[in-house]
Amino acid sequence: MTTRCLLTARTELFRCHQTDVSEIFHEAEENLMFVEKNSHFTSDLQLIYNPTSKCTPSIMNSSTEALSTHPTDCAEVQVPNQVFMAIAVASLSENILVIVAVIKNRNLHSPMYCFICNLAVFNTISSLFKALENILLLFKEAGHLNSLRLFELNIDDIMDSLLCMCFLGSIFSILTIAVDRYISIFHALRYHTLMTMRRVVVMLSTIWVLCGTSGVLMIGFFEAATVKIFFVVPFFTALLFILLLYVHMFLLARHHANRIASMPGLHARQRQSGLRGALTLTILIGVFVACWAPFCLHLLIMMICPENPYCECYRSLFQLHVVLLVSHAVIDPAIYAFRSTELRNTYKKMFLCSASRIFKECV
């Protein structure tokens, strides 16, 4: 009797699975795609269990139990959208100011300021799309937007790909600035021969073509491992080259500062100038590593150990890594642009002209 009941139960379960298994997998696939694409270009997936589905397989229950009881599971850290919005607005204001100043002042039409302007353009685009994304999320949270999954997936794919393109463009722009500074410091006599405007145009065009290609590929083939490698390899190559250049410049600057300090005939102002140069490079390296290293490590973990529970704990901090990364777009103008006397004078003239026009209109 027991055997007959067991066989009957197995037959009913098999028949139920045959009739509704396609519907179950279709629902599960939709939910998984929605969660994956709305996690802000992370791959930290969670299994979705729908208790209302008919004939729910026990395998899904056991999988969720195994995940929930794993000792190394970590809850994903959520950063309020208002924080991203504030950073994006601040970054937009600063970088647009840099772009306008470089365009208006012809004295700033030099290789170094072209690279700084290019960095500001990438930061402006990334901040603009990040602000737009957060505005849509805020409207959705307030209930002013209906949930259209297909539309959200397409928009999220495009925005994430453009953000990745801008991040890659920012790192290459910082690389060109590092190369320009290295040549201007250690090959000053040959600077105008090496850094011609024609070579500057070629370098900037190469950056835009490479970043644009990576962005287009990510829109259509974001899940492909080859596309991820196409993004990660240039990223880490540029990052390593920047660190090597800055460390080399820092060591030479410190050596130069020590030599100046050991010379008794020099004034205190000259000694302070050498020490200030070494301190500036120290701050530059520290800020760069602090803002970019967590995000770079996240990309590396995605490639090396995507399913390791300990790696998942680090990946749960992804939104904090993005906060640091987008904050660098706010810090960039302070490091590269606002320290320039020529740029500061241009800002003063712009503000004075604007204030005088407003005053005349009011009078």
pTM for the full model? 0.69
- Residue corresponding to tokens 């990223």: 235
- Residue corresponding to tokens 């021969």: 193
Contacts 24+ apart (CB under 8 A), 52-59: 53/20, 53/23, 53/24, 53/27, 54/16, 54/20, 54/23, 54/24, 55/13, 55/16, 55/17, 55/19, 55/20, 55/21, 55/24, 56/24, 57/17, 57/21, 57/24
Residue 18 in domain: no
Closest-CA residue to 41 (of 190, 159, 204, 205)? 159
Helix axes 268-304, 149-186, angle to 10 degrees: 140
Q: What is the pLDDT of residues 143-201, one digit of tens each?
A: 766 665 655 666 667 777 787 788 888 888 888 988 888 888 788 888 889 999 999 99
The pLDDT of residue 96 is 92
Higher pLDDT, 42 or 347: 347
Residue 121 has pLDDT above 90, yes or no: yes
The pLDDT of residue 44 is 37
Q: State the first-to-last Cα distance of the chain, in angstroms, to the nearest integer.
A: 101
Domain CATH for 307: 1.20.1070.10
The rounded distance, in Å, linking the Cα atoms of 17 and 147 is 30
Apex 153 CA angle, 147 and 156, nearest 5: 105
Q: Are 100 and 343 in contact (CB under 8 A)?
A: no
Q: Which domain holds residue 277?
A: 81-362
Residue 41 in domain: no
The pLDDT of residue 268 is 53
Check residue 195 and give left, alpha or beta (phi > 0: left; psi -120 to 50: alpha).
beta
The rounded distance, in Å, linking the Cα atoms of 78 and 165 is 24
Residue 307 in domain: yes
Least confident residue range of 152-156, 225-229, 275-279, 340-344: 275-279
Q: What is the pLDDT of residues 244-298, one digit of tens each?
A: 888 888 787 777 767 766 666 555 555 555 555 556 667 777 787 888 888 878 8
Average per-residue pLDDT for the chain? 72
The pLDDT of residue 10 is 43
Residue 37 in domain: no
Query: How many domains is the chain partitioned into structurally?
Result: 1
Higher pLDDT, 106 or 29: 106
Residue 321 has pLDDT above 80, yes or no: yes
Higher pLDDT, 3 or 338: 338
Residue 308 in domain: yes
The pLDDT of residue 222 is 62
Residue 344 in domain: yes
- Residue corresponding to tokens 């990745």: 164
Residue 19 in domain: no
Residue 71 in domain: no
Q: What is the DSSP letter of 145?
A: S
Q: Are 329 and 123 in contact (CB under 8 A)?
A: yes
- Residue corresponding to tokens 């301190």: 279
